[in-house]
Each structure stands twice: as C-alpha cells, then as structure tokens.
Amino acid sequence: MQSFGIGLAGLGNVGAGVFKHLTQNRSLLRGRLGCELEVRKVAVRDVSRDRGVPRELLTTNAMELLDDPNVHIVVELMGQKEESLRLMLGAIERKKIVVTGNKALLAEHGKEIFDAAYEHKVPVFFEAAVAGGIPIIKAIREGFVANHIQSIHGIINGTSNYILTRMTEAGMGFAEALAEAQAAGYAEADPSLDVNGGDAAHKAVILASLAYGFWVPMEKVFVEGVEQLTANDICFAEKLHYRIKLLAHIKAHTDGIEVRVHPTLIPKSHVLASVNGVFNAIAVKGDVVGDTLFYGRGAGQDPTSSAVIADIAEAADALVSPRRNLGFMPHGLYGVCKPIDEIVSEFYVRLSVEDRPGTIAQIAGILGELNVGISSILQPESEDEGATVPLVLMIHKASNAQIGAALDRIGKLVCVKRPPRMIRVEHFD
C-alpha cells in the first residue's frame, strides 16, 4: 500500500488535534483512501513540551519539512504571517502539496500563493480556514461548480456568535462572555480579531474569492465588529422580533460584488437566527441549486482537525492523480467590489432624544429631505416630559451613503443627546 508523508508545522490546539485524530482513525482512513497517511515530521516551538508526539519526529525548524524527501504534504498550522508564507511558498516550489487553515494569510496573500501554486502545478487546500468543520470550501469549489453564486450570508466567527448568544440568552456582559469563549479555546490568539470582525472578514474574503474567481482585496471589505453592541440593542431587537448576529454578506450584482461583515438584525424566524453558541452557519444561494444551508461547529480543536484531515486526504488523492483545479480556480466573470456607500439595505437606528414636542418632527424632517423612509418607530413611554429617552427607528431600504448623511445631520440636533447608533437589517430577499 502506498504511504504518504505528512510534515506538520505547528502543534497548537488544531495541530495536536490533527495528530490525535490521524492516529486514532488511521485504519478508517486507510480503508477509505487506500493509502497510508503518516506524520513524519512535526515542527514545534518548544520540543521539551509533551504533546503525545514521539520526540524523534519533533524539530524546532519548520523549514526542515521542506527538504525532507519523505514529506509529501506540508500542513501549515502555525498561524503566523511571514514564517507561514515562507513555508508555504517553499513547499510549493518543491512541489509539496500544502494544507493550511491560515485564513489571515490567504485573505492577504491568496493571489501570491495561488500564482505560485499554478506556476508549479501544486495544489493548496484550505478547508480549515473557514467555518471549522463545515465543508464549505469544497461545497463552493466543487459542489456548486454549476452555479453563479448569487449570495452568501454567514455566521463565520464562532467566538462572536458565542458572545452574542450569551448576551442574548443569559443577559451576560460582553467581557464575561468573551472570557468564556477564550476559556473554551474558540478565540484567536489575538481575540480582538474575533470581536472587531477581522477574523470573519478574512473568511469572507476567502469565500467571496472562491465564489467569484478573483482575490478580493481585504481593503475593499467593509468591516464592523460586535464591540459596540449593547444590551439595549439586543433588547430592542428582541422587541421588534429580530436577533442580532455578526454576519458576513457576500452578493453578486450586475456591476460588481459586495463583501461586508457587520452586526446585522435578522428576523427571529430566519434559520440563521437560531444558530447559537460557537456554531457557524452559511446560507449559499446559487442560480441553479437555489437556497442551501450549512451548519456546524465553526471553531475548536476537533471540528477544525476534521477539516484539515479532509484536506490531507484530498492531498493524498492529488498525489496519485494530478488535478487541474489546484484549490482555487481564477476566472474573469466578476472583478469589482462595490464600496459600502453604494450598498443598499434596511437599517435599525437607536437615538437618545429629549422627550419634547417637535423632536420626532425634526428627525423625520431630515430623513424626509434625504428621501429616507421610516418603516416603524418605537419609543418606550417616558415618565417626564424633557427626559432623555431612547427612540428606535426602523428604516426602509436606503443606501449606506444616504443613511450616513442623515445620521450626521440628526446627530447634530440639540434634541439628540448621544451619537446615533445604526445597525443594518437583512431580510434575505
């Protein structure tokens, strides 16, 4: 039986899981793949730490994986920037297949990595980069090959979804919920990427690039995180029959695509509203297949290991029969990313206003002048005239430029006591 050698770079949470499950499920994999997958070298920072990996496999120099003729598949799980890029490009040059979960690196250097992959005709697989154990990369790359992808809406950061769930269901504060997610091992080494939307944006770039055949520049993606969300917003959203989720929105238009990540009010009745905790879910709509939905654990050792091992299996297959699609297939149908100002949506706006005659008239006047329509108003009854009260407006479809201009003017009114808070609304129509 053929045997393929794996070089594992990084033995953190995910790397250790990959080693464990490759070992535990060895005979299952052998039976399914018809070959042996053998870890032959493991690069770690500190060889003295016991991680259940035989000492003789360990090295502190990841670059050793490149020149070992017994390593055919390089699995990059270091999660670094320069060092990971050097390792991946070095592996490609030596015609070793690369498997990675490094979403930040792909989002920022995807073009460079795949230019090298095509030059050297070496596949790069990256299922673990998006949505943990959900096979969304393979689905978009292969399952939906017959489709123009019309839209992708996804909850693709487990940590922020965990935080929002705990804030909504347990009334927990932001910091406490984040600490729980960190303790469970879901958060990034730098958890600011989870809460500021950066991690979801990296994943959105990867999904959009795969779906639309060009590497979407990171700077074209509009990103807003969950740090500014308050219990008040969660509570008003509930009253209005919405849930707040950090969503990635990817859509095709005739004049370009949109890619954005931000907290979003979605109807409580929509299936994504019931995706809680560390779970991720991605709704993909194609012109042939129609609506589809993927659901599963988006973070954590085991689900992510499952995705990495699936890629290793695919790499083993590619070593036996070379392929044309090397993991990302560029094509020229799209190519432009629309700026946020041009993107149209509905909006939730929360104001702190003085409860006096004429307040609503002034606000409605500005919205009317800018051709922005109000679809509903919610103001809890106040005890005293003159008190500062919350005023929530639901806004009909408008461009981000229109609502931005309106809120600039509204925020300057004397009767408006704090900067307006705006959250986009999605009805998935």
List residues binding ligand HSE (CB under 6 A): 132, 157-159, 186-188, 194, 199, 298-299
295 HSE (CA, 13 A, CB side): 9
User: In sequence order, what are the residues at sequence separation of 6 or more whose Cβ sits closer than 8 angstroms to the Cβ of residue 408?
Assistant: none
Taking the least distance from each CB to ligand HSE, the nearer of 9 and 389 is 9
**Minimal distance in Å, beta carbon 63 to ligand HSE?**
26
Q: Among residues 96, 103, 203, 220, which one is catalytic?
A: 203
**Contact present, 213 and 240 (Cβ < 8 Å):** no
Give φ, ψ of 315 to 5 degrees. -60, -40
> Nearest 5°: CA angle at 232, between 231 and 237?
100
Token pair for residue 330? 């560029």
Alpha-helical regions (H) of 170-242: 174-183, 192-195, 198-212, 231-239
**Closest by Cα among 135, 113, 134 to 124:** 113
Nearer to ligand HSE, 108 or 194 (CB): 194
Tell me whether residue 305 or residue 400 sits nearer to ligand HSE (CB atom).
Answer: 305
Task: Identify which of residues 132 and 286 has a Cβ nearer to ligand HSE in the complex.
Answer: 132
- For ligand HSE, which is the closer residue by CB, 251 or 297? 297
Is 20 part of the annotated catalytic residue set? no
Rounded CA separation 125/225 (Å): 28
- Minimum separation from the CB atom of position 177 to ligand HSE (A): 12
DSSP 78-138: ---SHHHHHHHHHHHHTT-EEEE--HHHHHHHHHHHHHHHHHHT--EE-GGGSSTT--HHH
Nearer to ligand HSE, 105 or 318 (CB): 105
Alpha carbon distance 258, 336 (integer Å): 9
DSSP 19-43: HHHHHHTHHHHHHHHSSEEEEEEEE
Q: How far is residue 9's CA from residue 17's CA, in Å, rounded to a whole number? A: 13
Cβ-contact 407, 398 below 8 angstroms: no
Query: Which residues are designated catalytic?
Result: 203
